[in-house]
């Protein structure tokens, strides 16, 4: 039985990961400060003797004897990470330093939840891991983008200098049950708006694209990456290459919910990337992984979750 630390374990992705790790027969320590996560996400695991919940902020050091660390602590929605940009940078950078220090002391393997945002508003399409990105270092998104880029650099430097066993995963837009209804990200916004018969808020003209991955596919990719030999460290893209415009997504949500909501067009936020699609050849080769849940099916499951959550 491995003892596995998940930072950000009460969040959307973290809570799915904790469930899967427990199911696979591991002991799980979930560390979270509940900034965007919630106890509701993990309530089914509380009481399981192999699950420990610790309220802790990763900006300060954390000590425990662990075999593996999944470092997910960081707000991921633009609305939340821009709420207190300084704190977002501290969480990414100091959180990475503290968790890498722990990995160094305990000789644990550590996986960093990085992001497609390290590519910024990309000038190549689809994005490959060897692309260095096109990031505005002083813009509204930079607290997140540069924080994550600095975390990747910290991971590489701990690996090179101290031989820490690292894995870097670059996650593309992920959605599914347990997203917060007020999370602010596009899939949860559109579904909640459609179910509540509110206007669907498209930012800009809706021609910008994203590639949406269902959370179960991501969790499978994370676990496979952690299980690769020590000489494979990534970074590796994990996402669903199916690319949709935001308007197409809105239309799908309306169709699948049978909603009468109307589309409204609001200003595009600063530095909103125009196009995003992962090249996943490396994940296919090294992890034997590819996504298996199409958008339509994943949306159905997510709509069912929000229907229950909103008491509709």
Under the binding rule (CB under 6 A), the answer on residue 31 touching ligand UDP is no
Shortest reach from residue 96's CB to ligand UDP, in Å: 20
**Binder to ligand UDP among 201, 245, 248, 300 (CB under 6 A)?**
201
Shortest reach from residue 14's CB to ligand NAD, in Å: 5
Question: Taking a C-beta distance cutoff of 8 angstroms, is the pair 81, 75 a contact?
Answer: yes
CA 101 – CA 94 distance, rounded (Å):
10
For residue 218, what are its two tokens?
Answer: 């991501």
Residue nearer to ligand NAD on the CB measure, 119 or 158: 119
CA 24 – CA 41 distance, rounded (Å):
19
Residue nearer to ligand NAD on the CB measure, 80 or 165: 80
Residues 218-277, interacting with ligand UDP (CB under 6 A):
246, 268-269, 272
Q: At what angle do helices 246-257 and 186-195 cross, to 10 degrees?
A: 30
Residue nearer to ligand UDP on the CB measure, 33 or 213: 213
175 is annotated as an active-site residue: no
Under the binding rule (CB under 6 A), the answer on residue 173 touching ligand UDP is yes
CA 109 – CA 163 distance, rounded (Å):
11
Q: Which of 85, 70, 95, 80 is nearest to 37 (CA)?
A: 80
Q: Which of 170, 122, 124 is nearest to 282 (CA)?
A: 170
Residue nearer to ligand UDP on the CB measure, 10 or 192: 192
Shortest reach from residue 172's CB to ligand UDP, in Å: 8
Radius of gyration of the chain (CA): 19
| Interface residue list for ligand NAD (CB under 6 A) | 7-8, 10-14, 32-37, 57-59, 72-76, 91, 95, 113, 115, 171, 173-174
Under the binding rule (CB under 6 A), the answer on residue 202 touching ligand UDP is yes
Q: How far is CA 9 from CA 130, 151, 170, 202, in A?
A: 29, 18, 18, 30
Which candidate in 70, 81, 119, 144 is catalytic? Answer: 144
List residues with catalytic annotation. 144
Site residues, ligand UDP (CB under 6 A): 77-78, 173, 185-186, 189, 201-203, 208, 210, 246, 268-269, 272
């Amino acid at each position: 039985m491995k003892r596995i630390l998940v930072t950000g374990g009460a969040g959307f992705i973290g809570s799915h990961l904790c469930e899967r790790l427990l199911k696979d027969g591991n002991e799980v320590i979930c560390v979270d400060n509940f900034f965007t996560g919630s106890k509701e996400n993990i309530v089914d695991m509380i009481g399981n003797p192999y699950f420990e919940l610790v309220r802790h902020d990763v900006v300060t050091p954390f000590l425990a004897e662990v075999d593996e660390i999944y470092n997910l602590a960081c707000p991921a929605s633009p609305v939340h990470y821009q709420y207190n940009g300084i704190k977002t940078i501290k969480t990414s950078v100091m959180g990475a330093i503290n968790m890498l220090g722990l990995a160094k002391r305990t000789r644990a393997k550590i996986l960093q939840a990085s992001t497609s945002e390290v590519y910024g508003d990309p000038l190549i399409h689809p994005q490959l891991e060897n692309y260095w990105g096109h990031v505005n270092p002083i813009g509204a998104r930079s607290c997140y983008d540069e924080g994550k880029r600095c975390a990747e650099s910290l991971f590489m430097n701990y690996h090179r200098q101290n031989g820490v066993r690292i894995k870097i995963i670059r996650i593309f837009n992920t959605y599914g049950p347990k997203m917060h209804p007020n999370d602010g990200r596009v899939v949860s916004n559109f579904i909640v708006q459609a179910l509540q018969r509110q206007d669907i808020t498209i930012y800009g003209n809706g021609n910008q694209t994203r590639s949406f991955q269902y959370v179960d596919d991501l969790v499978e990719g994370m676990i496979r990456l952690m299980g690769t030999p020590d000489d494979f460290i990534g970074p590796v893209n994990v996402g669903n290459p199916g690319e949709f415009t935001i308007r197409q997504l809105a239309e799908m949500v309306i169709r699948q919910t049978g909603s009468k909501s109307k589309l409204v067009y609001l200003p595009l936020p600063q530095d909103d990337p125009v196009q995003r699609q992962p090249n996943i050849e490396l994940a296919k080769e090294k992890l034997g992984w590819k996504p298996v849940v199409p958008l339509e099916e994943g949306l159905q499951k997510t709509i069912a979750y929000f229907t229950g959550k909103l008491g509709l």
